[in-house]
Amino acid sequence: MFLDTLAHNITTNPDKPALELLADDGSTEIITYSELGNRTTRTAQYLKSLGVIEGDRVAVQLPKCMPFIYLHLATVQLGAIFLPLNPAYPLSELSYFVNDAEPRVFIGDATKPAGTYGGLNGINGLDHLITLDPNTSVWLGEVEKLESYNPTLPTDPDQIAMMLYTSGTTSRPKGAQITHGNLTTNIEGLHEAWGWQNDDVILHVLPIFHVHGLIVALHGALHTGATAVMMPKFDADTVLDLLQTKRFTVFMGVPTIHRRLYNAAGDKTIDLSHMRLMTSGSDRLPDDLFFGYQKTFNYILLERYGMTETGMNLSNPYQAERRVGSVGMPLPGVSARIVNPETDEPLPDGEVGEVQIKGAHVCKGYWRQPEKTAEAFTEDSWLRTGDMGVRAEDGYFTLKGRAKDLIITGGLNVYPPEVELVLMEHPAVAACAVIGCPDPEWGEQITAALILKDGQTTTEDEIITFCREHLASYKAPRRVLFVESFPQNALGKIQKAKLRETFC
């Protein structure tokens, strides 16, 4: 399994850099595979000393830093369940996740304002509420060179390793339970499809609390015995400079990141053809960016398709045609089909329907929500993705929109109902509808249309500030419109497509 391969890499390549952190102050911290093994072991001992046992949840809200990675690997090594949380979540969102997941330990960021986590005290099952300075690893003490690395690792592929929350169109956020087997299948499929090599060096700019940054990019490198150079905050000019040094072979981004690189290049052409693999995912790659990138950087981006519940599903070929607008074909071990979403009946090539996915990489359903799990899967275990798509005769899939009400902004998913629920809490709001309007940089920008209660007034700024107090800032509307009524269908349901036509 993934952890066994990592253990193998630690013992066979102890002195090779596994991680390099490019700190904001310009300094670099290098951790070899041996040191990674040692620190993971010590962190596991620390978690054990806190009483963490198999199956316990360990919640971590830290920025992109080395301790985050040690905590992640140590938790899964112990057979406990790692629950990474976006550093942008305010207390109101954190409380939900902690109440739902009931972690034994919560580790937060000591550099956040005092009192940030006070509201989590006393939540059921939470034995330890700890804050850490992301720049120190106090529990490690003095770390010597690792003499041997032979931890007891989980052996059951069905055991849950991680929980990642996804929001729902009609429901509260659900914890997708990702097993050791899921992680292993995913990373082995990507390894085969993308030709990961142990002399690869990835410039890692993504956040690490999601499938993309944590599993595809970081696990991808560690599984291969490659080196991951971690940049905590993406900056287009710095990344363009670094990529031109020719040290790096792999780079992964979301379209917003690629758009910023492209814009940063301006009129210059910059040759990135030495890059072995540059991928784009988490949102559709616009055609103009695909072609612009090719012209400016002499590189054809490889677009792939995944989701939290599954990790990666489809990918353009590494060595054959990378087709504009397409997300490619099923990865090794993945089955994909297009069906009529009403009947789950497969459709012929060329017809648009829902994309459904099956394979050992698909998560074990949702944490303590059996009814949501049942809804998400067909009787014969196909996952309903909620994405619409079409398969060409030669096997390439193309996405054609979403069956579900979802906005993707900067590669992050935002479900309008969670924003609408917050808007409805505002005393002046009588009714609301949240839509995504196309945006060249962010993919979509969140727009809220509001009907106010009689006699009430408010402003766009006040509404945005109100949302930011209750939601992570990327979920807050960027634009607020005040309307008299909404277009509705015969059943009284707001027609969001019409709203988008009118206001976007």
Q: Which residue in 181, 207, 286, 353 binds ligand MLC (CB under 6 A)?
A: 207
Nearest to 91 by CA among 53, 118, 113: 118
Q: Which is nearer to ligand MLC, 474 or 482 (CB)?
A: 474
Smallest separation (angstroms) from ligand MLC to the CB of 414: 8
Q: Which window, 37-45, 57-65, 254-262, 345-353, contacts ligand MLC (CB under 6 A)?
A: 254-262
In the range 270-289, which residues lie near ligand MLC by CB under 6 A? 281-282
Which residue number, 5 or 280, has a Cβ lying nearer to ligand MLC? 280
* CB of 340 vs ligand MLC, minimal distance in Å: 24
The backbone torsions φ and ψ at residue 265, rounded to the nearest 5 degrees and listed phi first, read -70, -25
Examine residue 96 and tell whether it contacts ligand MLC (CB under 6 A).
no
Q: How far, in Å, CA of 317 to CA of 396, rounded?
A: 10
Report residue 299 CA to chain centroid gap: 24
Q: Rounded to the nearest 5°, which phi and psi values hold at 374?
A: -60, -40
Interaction of residue 306 with ligand MLC, rule CB under 6 A: yes
Task: Work out whether 256 is an interface residue with ligand MLC (CB under 6 A).
Answer: yes
| Cβ nearer to ligand MLC, comparing 56 with 418 | 418
| C-alpha torsion angle, residues 450, 454, 457, 458 (rounded to 10) | -30
Task: Say how far apart CA 383 and CA 403 lie, in whole Å.
Answer: 14
Sole window of 57-65, 166-174, 208-216, 262-270 interacting with ligand MLC (rule: CB under 6 A)? 208-216
Q: Least distance to ligand MLC from the beta carbon of 264, Å?
A: 12
Comparison of 318 and 474: residue with beta carbon closer to ligand MLC: 474
Q: Is 176 in the site for ligand MLC (CB under 6 A)?
A: no
Shortest separation between residue 402's beta carbon and ligand MLC, angstroms: 13
What is the C-alpha separation between 396 and 217, in angstroms, rounded? 23
Q: Which is nearer to ligand MLC, 52 or 163 (CB)?
A: 163
Tell which one of 96, 318, 474, 503 touches ligand MLC (CB under 6 A): 474
Report d(CA 91, CA 120) in Å as an integer: 8
Nearer to ligand MLC, 175 or 213 (CB): 213
Is residue 247 part of the contact set for ligand MLC (CB under 6 A)?
A: no
Q: Is 213 in the site for ligand MLC (CB under 6 A)?
A: yes
> Any contact of residue 436 with ligand MLC (CB under 6 A)?
no
Q: How many residues bind ligand MLC (CB under 6 A)?
A: 23
Angle in degrees, 0-180, between the axes of helices 416-424 and 460-470, rounded to the nearest 10: 110
Q: Calculate the alpha carbon distances from 112 to 232, 260, 320, 465 in Å.
A: 16, 28, 47, 20
Q: Is 254 an interacting residue with respect to ligand MLC (CB under 6 A)?
A: yes
Q: Which two tokens stand for residue 39?
A: 């620190």
Say whether residue 84 binds ligand MLC (CB under 6 A): no
Q: What's the rounded Cα separation, in Å, for the pair 304 and 66?
A: 28
User: Is residue 210 a contact point for ligand MLC (CB under 6 A)?
Assistant: yes
Q: Determine, following the binding rule CB under 6 A, whether residue 473 of this chain makes contact with ligand MLC.
A: yes
For residues 306 and 281, is the Cβ–Cβ distance under 8 A?
yes
Beta strands at 250-253 and 201-204: parallel, antiparallel or unpaired: parallel
Q: Is 399 in the site for ligand MLC (CB under 6 A)?
A: no
Q: Which of 212, 258, 358, 470 binds ligand MLC (CB under 6 A)?
A: 212
The beta strand positions in 23-113, using DSSP E, are 28-32, 57-60, 81-84, 105-109
Q: Which stretch binds ligand MLC (CB under 6 A): 63-71, 129-137, 287-295, 403-411?
A: 403-411
Radius of gyration of the chain from its Cα atoms, rounded to whole angstroms: 23
355 forms beta bridges with 338
Helix (H) or strand (E) holding 259: helix 255-265
Find the binder of ligand MLC among 60, 409, 447, 494 (CB under 6 A): 409
Helix/strand/coil for 183? helix
Tokens representing 172 are: 């509260």
414-447 burial by CB neighbour count: b if 16+ within 10 A, else e?
bbbbbbbebbeebebbebbbbbbbebeebbbbbb
C-alpha dihedral sign at 495, 496, 497, 498: positive
Percent helix, strand, coil in the chain (nearest 5)?
A: 30, 25, 40
Q: Site residues for ligand MLC, window 442-461 (CB under 6 A)?
A: 442
> Which residues inside 349-388 make contact with ligand MLC, applying CB under 6 A?
none
Shortest distance (Å) from residue 239 CB to ligand MLC? 10
Nearest-approach distance from CB 409 to ligand MLC, in angstroms: 4
Q: Which two tokens stand for residue 196?
A: 């990961």
Stretch that binds ligand MLC, among 4-12, 194-202, 306-314, 453-461 (CB under 6 A): 306-314
Q: Which residue is nearest to ligand MLC (CB)?
A: 410
**Of the listed pieces 74-82, 94-102, 251-259, 495-503, which binds ligand MLC according to CB under 6 A?**
251-259
Distance CA 355, CA 346 (A): 10
List the structure tokens of 154: 């989980």
The yes or no reply on residue 257 touching ligand MLC (CB under 6 A) is yes
Q: Which stretch binds ligand MLC (CB under 6 A): 103-111, 252-260, 287-295, 334-342?
A: 252-260
Q: How far is the CB of 443 from ligand MLC (least distance, A)?
A: 8
Binding site for ligand MLC (CB under 6 A): 206-207, 210-213, 233-234, 254, 256-257, 281-282, 306-308, 409-412, 442, 473-474
